[in-house]
Chain A
Amino acid sequence: MYNKKVLDHFQKPKNMGKLKNPDVVAEVGNMQCGDIMRLYIKVKDDKIKDISFETMGCVAAISTSSMITELAKGKTLAQASKITFQDVVGELGELPPVKMHCADLAVKALRKAIKKYQGNKD
């Protein structure tokens, strides 16, 4: 069902847990499948200095959460906003078709967090 890389991220997720003193916390959810994803980010010099996640969901939801934190870490806010669900899936290798929306949820969470940060700043 899942490839090794997806399972690795599930078994040993990167950047998992709460972040101390985050600049922003953003949460997104998918009513149908019940997944809830929460991202914490810290920004410095317009760059994502630190990021972490908490996700209640299936293997794909946890793996894509882990992957999006890896992809976003160190990027400028503009660069991070451009990360697509294809990027997340591509990095993981593959996802079962019914699980593609998990990658989408991860992207939505990141974009929501960035928007929220930019909104807070203004």
Chain B
Amino acid sequence: MAQKQIYLDHAATTPVAPAVFRKMQPYFNQKYGNPSSIHGLGQTAAQAIEKARQQIAVFLNCLSEEIHFTAGATESDNWIIWGLVEKLRFQESINPHIITSAIEHKAILEPCQVLLKKGLIRLTILPVNSNGLVSLEDLKKAIKKDTRLVSIMYANSEIGTIQPISQIGQLIKKLNPKRKHPIIFHSDAVQAANYLDCSVDKLGLDSLSLSGHKVYGPKGVGLLYVKKGVKLSPLIRGGGQEKGVRSGTENVPGIIGLAEAVSRINQNNKELKKLRDKLITGVLRDINQVELNGSFKDRLPNNANFSFKGAEGESIVLSLSAKGVFTSTGSACASHSLSPSHVMLALGLSHEQAHASVRFTLGQQTTSQDIDYLLKILPGIIARLRKISGR
């Protein structure tokens, strides 16, 4: 019998849902026209894209023209930052102040750091408390006269903590009428979209990033919602697609898949939460010297992240993998570097604790039996690694 495979890495990526895959298929080789072509085949594709935009507008509760398709949320995050900074430099010749948090995805932090190094922005990086949450008070204090962008992720990819986005949105909405220049409020909602209300109006967002492959859609496609009236310079220039703001022939099958995936999001989190709580309770009960990283309360229903004293993350992940259970240390991207996760360090964890962290992210197919199997094998794996480490 083939070894069973239990996928507990849904924050890294999700499988494309069969219904999504079916919707995408015709756009590869039947309705393959270029949406910019004026002939029938091209217009079929163009109409499909506009329909996709409308589907997503329902989910975000926004206008369809406020949605711009990209090659993924990394592009979307880069675009809001570079695009806004460039626009402001061009229109007002200023170097704006930007506020973000210490646990943002690198797609936010890296562009900010580069702009800071170039002297094109001033930057405040808000700390998080030991639960992984940004404080509204800290944000209030950080806002300056020339603050033009606040970027706070909706939910964290590593520890699943949910930031008080609607409270931040309210605060900014209240401040903006009194300001000479409004603050743009952006949120990377990649991890949140499956589980939390993404109605941009309710949240008070001016901008939001989404990714296809985290919501049972395809990889290589995402979107940036930008509220009407907010002007961004293009990040990618060329043929003037997406009304001139994002060039490049549209990824038609990807966009169709993204829209289908988004419209199928079912935020019934109860069952998932039950499984996650079973996992958390079981691990804390069966293994000693283990800590849950990040808030238990303000947390995505599918995320559990632990540090196991005396056992290193990669060793745990590969031991689990050998037994058919797929998990991750911090974020999958972090495996390109040796340094411990910036998210773990921001929580105040020591290097040793940060290196000992493992993330379990559940998904649609996760069953109670999967959790039973994990709870059966994990104590032995940790015990073996602790024996090797002598700790």
The interface of chain A, by Cβ under 8 A from chain B, is 2, 7, 10-11, 13, 16-18, 31-36, 38, 54-59, 61-62, 98, 101
Contact = CB atoms under 8 A, between A and B. Distances in A.
Contacts of A7: 318, 322
Given A11-B322, A57-B312, A59-B314, A34 B340 contact: yes
Interface stretch (B130-138, B293-301, B382-390): B382-390
B314 A58 contact: yes
The B interface, classified by DSSP as helix, strand, loop or mixed, is: helix
Given A55-B388, A62-B388, A10 B318 contact: yes
B355 A34 contact: yes
A32 B337 CA distance: 10
Contacts of A35: 312
Nearest to B336: A98
A16 B315 contact: no
Given A31-B351, A34-B355, A56 B310 contact: yes
29 contacts: A2-B318, A7-B318, A10-B318, A11-B322, A13-B388, A16-B387, A16-B388, A17-B387, A17-B388, A17-B390, A18-B390, A32-B339, A32-B351, A33-B338, A33-B339, A34-B312, A34-B354, A35-B312, A38-B390, A54-B388, A54-B390, A56-B310, A56-B352, A57-B389, A58-B313, A58-B315, A62-B315, A62-B388, A98-B338
Contacts of A16: 387-388
B370 to A, nearest CB: 23
Interface of B: 310-315, 318, 322, 336-340, 351-352, 354-355, 387-391
A26 B318 CA distance: 27
B338, B351, B391 — which one has the most chain A CB atoms within 10 A of its CB? B338
Contacts of A57: 312, 315, 389
B315 A10 contact: yes
Nearest to B329: A58
A56 B382 CA distance: 12
A95 to B, nearest CB: 13
Contacts of B340: 34
**Complex A-B, nearest 3 residue pairs according to Cβ-Cβ distance, in ascending order:** A54-B390, A56-B389, A34-B355
A101 B336 CA distance: 15
Contacts of A61: 312
Nearest to A2: B318
Given A34-B351, A38-B390, 5 more contacts: A16-B388, A34-B355, A56-B391, A59-B314, A98-B338
A52 to B, nearest CB: 10
